[in-house]
Structure 1
Amino acid sequence: MIKNIKIKNFLTIKNLEINFDKHFNTIVGESGAGKSLILKAISEVFSIKNDTQMVGNFGDSCKISIDFDSNLSKYNFSQRNFTIVKILKKNKSQLFLNDIQLSNKIAQNIKNDIVNIVSQDYRFELFEKDRFLEVLDLFIDPNIIENYKMAFTNFNEAKKTINELKSKIKSIDNAHTEILIELIDKTDPQKDEYDELINKRKQIKQDLALKDFIQQLNALFYEGKNNLYDTIIASFKKINNIESDASLKMQNISNSLNKILDELNTLKPLFEYSKDDEVSIDNIERRLFELENLQRKFGKTINEILDEKQKLSQLIGKKNSMQEQLLEEQDKLQTLKDKLEQAAFQLTSQRKKQADRLIDGVMQSMSDLMLESADFDIVFEKVECSENGQDKITLFFSANKDLPKKELSKIASGGEKSRFILALFEYIGQLSQNTIIFDEIEEGTGGKTLTSIVSKLKNLSLQNQLICITHSLEVQNAADKIFTIEKTFENSNTVTYLCQM
């Protein structure tokens, strides 16, 4: 319910304030006085687009403030009393709800919970998106709606889980985990193997250098041309062939040579070496090449690669576990899908029943409003399940039964549409209980039709707040509160102002 609206510098409105009654309000005035500016101002507050051309000539900015009472718990507001303020400037706008900055999109959604505007110049929100589904749902057992919403939530959570599992499995597949493990296993590195081989190669090279030195000594002592061993043996032969009186000296020489020969015989086994070491270093070089090639491919050390293999193996284990979980979730999803379809079918069935009743009720009310030749239907189309069910609803209307019914929002004239909406609200009014703004609903009517319109407006106002912009004295006289809009000229500017009657 709208309690109050304050408008400053909006088109021709310089400064205006209206305190509405909670039941039946009328806004009256001469044609062109600016009655519809009130409706425009309300619509501008909740509009998705900002029309800065609405700023008047009485300042640099426009301010529209609306105090209202509503249940906005679904937007996480616990209170019921609100003030929404829109400030328009030449180059920007600001929107606040209880001093909290608000987006235009959320404001548009909130509008649907506060006010319905019925006018030839405005699109009627009940015909937009899923709004009429909400009307039908007012008459349905809340448990059926809640059962569907729970089934839809459970189904979507299962779908989300499946998609997440597929995404994670795909991520592991994209990492080519099995290929990398196969590459590592082909080389089969061992922990610390590379460093150990490097050290072993170093040791073998040192050993080979020593062997080379020993070979040189071996050639000098035993195997080379003019080697020491053969020279000593030859010396013994010469000594034996020499006859000398200095036998003691020769004996000493012979003894010394024998000692040298004994030492050479003792050293000779130490100069022996194995050919296996030469083969061994070739194997080490070959193995080091394999390990270094693996390290280049991974850009990591052997020990880091082994750690990586462990992580990759864990990923494969995780992937296998997720694949098992995926199969379980897919089975679960099918069960939840069946439950969702059952809940959707039940919700659709209830909506169709209520739609038939609503058609009968509205048709009867339209007859009272001299639309007895009119025809009205609610057509259901099955669509993909959403949070609102699997139904898309279109309202069809014909002013005369001999003409084919067409989509109501496109073919009905303004007066016919307004009277139809009045008939509709007469049926749903006790359950909707919000603010309804009618813009010249009586236009083009008189006599019994006008009397019926006034009666239905009065009855509707008992449960809903009505704001009627009207030229009709009959509508005006039925109101609880009347506001008269007039205009004047100040300093060459047209000024719209309010006179409460």
Structure 2
Amino acid sequence: MLESLVVDNFTIIEHLEVDFHHGLSTLTGETGAGKSIIIDAIAQIAGAKSSKELIRHGSDKATILAEFSHFPFSSLKKLFEQNDIDLDEDYLSIQKEIKKNGRGIARINGSVVNGSFLRQVGDHLFNIEEQSKHQQLLNADAQLALLDAFSGKKLVQTLASYEKTYRELRSIKLKKEEIQKKNQDLKERLDYLKFADQEITEVDPKIGEDQRLEEKKIQLSNFEKISSSLQQIQTLIGGEDSIQDLLGQAQALSDSLENYGSSYQKIADNLTNAIEAVNDAMSEVSDVSDTLDLNDENELELVMERLSSFDQLKKKYGGTLEEVLSYQKKARSEIKFAENSEQSLKEYDEKYRLYLEQAHQLADKLTDIRKKSADKLEPLINSELKTLEFQNSKFEIKFTKSELQERGQDHLMFMVQTNIGEKMLPLAEIASGGELSRILLALKSVFSQFFENVTFIFDEIDSGVSGRAAQSMADKIYQIARSNQVISITHLPQLAAMSDYQYLIEKKIVDNRTISSVRLLDQKERVDEIAQMLTGTKMTKVTKDHAMEMLELAQKSKERE
């Protein structure tokens, strides 16, 4: 139950605080006073989309705070646990801030939550019916959703199994179509892929081989220079008057200096290291010279041919040998896919057949549950319609079978006969605004008994209704309010008189700014407001007496209830 609402800088509301109560509360006032703005503020708490246009002109942000007690704790507990948010059984608060950029920040019990979670919580706390949404009742999907809500847990469980099967069915179909499309694309290039694989396989390149062959090509192309340089190095290191001879002489001299002090030892050590380094270099030159076999024109020709074959592959399949081999790997994968696709399609066909059979079985079960629920719902709606001045009306739910959809195979339509002798026609074809409002209320009245501590919000649900039908609607809304909190915007004096609490929404000009305010009316003020609603112009003693009589009759009616 919504206990209190605090609104700051929201459209024409500068600051508003209002306490609500269990039972039926009506919001009355002149057109344009801001009644619907309060419903809009509640809708923000329930998860409606934010907009910077909702911020009062000249303000940095709009803020809405709602506090609840006696809310559907059991149904919310699991949802809160899944999102790691604490939930007290006796208190719940929701705050919504709308920033200048239009972004909304919501907090539940102080914890920041996203819009999706806020909407889920709002669905548990509120059942909001705005005048602009009445037409949704004419939509077949909305009618199916209402019947499913009436059908209860058995349908929920079966529908969950069906939806899981249907999703798998669609997934199999998409995968099958993907294979077929890929197969079609491959047919046009399969020969090329096989040729590419064979061509790369014949060359059989290895990663880095081109770099090694490029180095060898340089060596083979410069054989004379390399051979000559190696011979000169060997002469310089080990020939007559070579580096080795000179270093040997220097080492002998350094050895003779050791007798003159330890400081000469470092010279001897360095010369020893130099001799070892020169010997190592000579050994390496000798090893290279012994294995040198670069004067082979046939080998150079072979290297050039192989490098040329690499260049051809790179031009076709990638700029490097790594890319060429990657292309071959992908080509082989696609070739294998094409070779195995027929078998895959057969497997998917069998899998699809099994899931399709299962989906049809579950869809049939859903149809059976829905038809049994419709048989129970129809007399309840017909009974409610009679209390709403549809004495000769008849309500039926018509089923037609469709292709498998997300919620089964049922396409249904709410059919109504409003007068004896007329045909049963879809609700959308026969209902006027007033008739639609009463039929909607009949549905709400039936479904209200399945809600636990939900706040019903009615925004001018009585639009287009007058006379006896208006009183019938007032009585029906009061019946809903006996087990649920109801907040209703109304222009009907009959409904205002039946309310337990009546709030007046007023609009006034302060410092050249429009401000909307709300206050709870006492008994005397209610008489004046209902009299004003009766006349629409100047009140008279007659209208005031009439208003007082309406309140007295309403009180007696409530006592009988």
Instruction: Give the alignment's TM-score, normalised by structure 2.
Output: 0.60
Residue in structure 2 matched with residue 7 of structure 1 by the alignment: 7
Within the candidate set 133, 136, 148, 2:162 is matched to: 148
The 2-side partners of 1:114 and 1:59 are apart by 29
Tell me if the contact between 1:374 and 1:397 (Cα under 8 Å) persists in the aligned partners.
Answer: yes
The counterpart of 1:87, out of the listed 90, 98, 110, is: 98
2:221 pairs with 1:181: no
The 3 A distance-change label for structure 1 pair 43 and 375 is farther
> 1:72-471 maps to which residues of 2 (within 5 A)?
77=83, 81-87=92-98, 89=100, 92-98=102-108, 100=112, 102-103=114-115, 112-123=123-134, 126-127=137-138, 130-138=141-149, 139-140=151-152, 141=154, 142-159=156-173, 162=176, 177-185=193-201, 187=202, 189=204, 293-294=312-313, 296-299=315-318, 309=328, 312-313=331-332, 316-317=335-336, 320=339, 324-380=343-399, 382=401, 385-397=404-416, 399-401=418-420, 408=427, 412-433=431-452, 434-441=454-461, 444-447=465-468, 449=469, 452-470=472-490
> CA distance change for structure 1 residues 85 and 411 in 2, over 3 Å: closer, same or farther?
farther
Q: 2: distance between equivalents of 1:203 and 1:488?
A: 101
CA contact (8 A) 1:396 1:407 kept: yes
CA shift in 2, pair 1:172/1:500, >3 Å: farther
Q: Deviations over 1:444-494 (max 9, x none)?
A: 4445x4554344333322443211234556545554444343455533545
Q: How far is 1:25 from its partner?
A: 2.5
Number of the residue aligned with 2:274:
none
In the TM superposition, what whole-angstrom CA distance separates every residue of 1:31-74 from its partner, at most 9, and x where no partner exists?
A: 66543432243346668665655544684543333345454666
| Deviation readout 1:206-255 (Å, 9 max, x if unpaired) | 9xxxxxxxxxxxxxxxxxxxxxxxxxxxxxxxxxxxxxxxxxxxxxxxxx
Q: Does the aligned pair in 2 maintain the 1:379–1:396 contact within 8 Å?
A: yes
User: What is the Cα deviation at residue 83 of structure 1?
Assistant: 0.8
Greater mean deviation of Cα atoms: 126-135 or 332-341: 126-135
Percentage identity across paired residues of the two chains = 26
Q: Would the aligned equivalents of 1:436 and 1:465 in 2 still touch at CA under 8 Å?
A: yes
CA deviation digits over 1:346-366, x for unaligned, max 9?
213322332343233212211
- 1:249 aligned partner: none
Partners in 1 of 2:184 and 2:29 — Cα distance? 69
Aligned residues: 428
Q: Give 1:216's aligned residue.
A: none
Residues 482 and 427 of structure 1: is their aligned pair in 2 closer, same or farther, counting only changes over 3 Å?
same
59 and 338 in structure 1: CA distance in 2 versus 1, 3 angstrom threshold? same
In the aligned structure 2, how far is the partner of 1:188 from the partner of 1:14? 82
CA contact (8 A) 2:507 2:517 kept: yes
Q: What does residue 27 of structure 2 align with?
A: 27
**Counterpart residue identity of residue 480, structure 2:** L
For 1:95 and 1:410, the matched residues in 2 are separated by: 42
Q: Aligned equivalents of 2:437 and 2:322: distance in 1?
A: 81
Instruction: Determine if contact 2:44/2:96 at 8 Å carries over to the other structure.
Output: no
1:496 alignment counterpart: 517
After superposition, the Cα gap between the structure-2 partners of 1:136 and 1:180, relative to the gap in structure 1 and judged at 3 Å, is: same
Deviation at 1:21, TM superposition (A): 2.4
Q: State the distance in 2 between where 1:341 and 1:134 align.
A: 20
Check conservation: 1:30, 1:486, Cα contact below 8 A.
yes
Q: C-alpha separation between the residues in 1 aligned to 2:173 and 2:378?
A: 38
Q: 1:118 to 1:402 in 2, by over 3 A?
A: farther
Please give the secondary structure, in 2, of the residue aligned with 1:144: helix
Q: Does structure 1 retain, via aligned residues, the 8 Å contact 2:220–2:300?
A: no
Question: C-alpha distance in 2, partners of 1:65/1:409?
Answer: 38
1:16 is matched with: 16
Structure 2 counterpart of 1:18, one-letter code: V
- 1:169 Cα shift? 7.2
Answering whether residue 61 of structure 2 is matched by residue 42 of structure 1, we say: no
* Structure 1, 335-344 or 21-30: larger mean CA deviation: 21-30
SS of residue paired to 2:157: helix
CA change 1:300–1:487 in 2 (3 A) is closer
Between stretches 144-153 and 163-172, larger displacement belongs to 163-172
Aligned to 1:485: 505
Instruction: Identify if the C-alpha distance between structure 1 residues 299 and 11 changes in structure 2 by more than 3 Å, giving closer, same or farther.
Output: closer
Q: Indicate the SS of the match to 1:431.
A: coil
The 3 A distance-change label for structure 1 pair 489 and 159 is same
Look at both structures and tell me which one has the larger radius of gyration over its CA atoms.
1
Give 1:314 deviation, angstroms.
Answer: 5.9
1:146 maps to amino acid:
A
Distance in 2 between the 1:450 and 1:363 partners?
18
SS at match of 1:18: strand
SS in 1 for 2:457: strand
Q: Could you say what secondary structure the match of 2:379 adopts? A: helix
Change (3 A) 1:124 1:341: same
Structure 1's unaligned 5+ residue stretches are 207-276
Higher mean Cα deviation, 4-13 or 471-480?
471-480
Using the size of structure 1 for normalisation, the TM-score is: 0.66
Higher helix share: 2
Alpha-carbon distance change, 333 to 441 in structure 1, aligned in 2, over 3 angstroms? closer
State the Cα distance separating 1:125 from its structure 2 match.
5.3
- The CA distance in 1 between the partners of 2:361 and 2:481, in whole Å, is 39
- C-alpha separation in 2, matches of 1:281 and 1:488: 101
Partner SS state of residue 65, structure 1: strand
Residue 86 of structure 1, CA deviation: 4.4
Check conservation: 1:486, 1:496, Cα contact below 8 A.
Answer: yes
* 1:154 aligned partner, one-letter code: E
The C-alpha deviation readout for 1:233-288, integer Å capped at 9, x for no partner, is xxxxxxxxxxxxxxxxxxxxxxxxxxxxxxxxxxxxxxxxxxxx999999998777
Query: Matches of 1:494 and 1:278 in 2, distance apart?
Result: 101
Quick one: distance in 2 between partners of 1:494 and 1:293?
81
User: Secondary structure at 2:450's aligned position in 1?
Assistant: helix
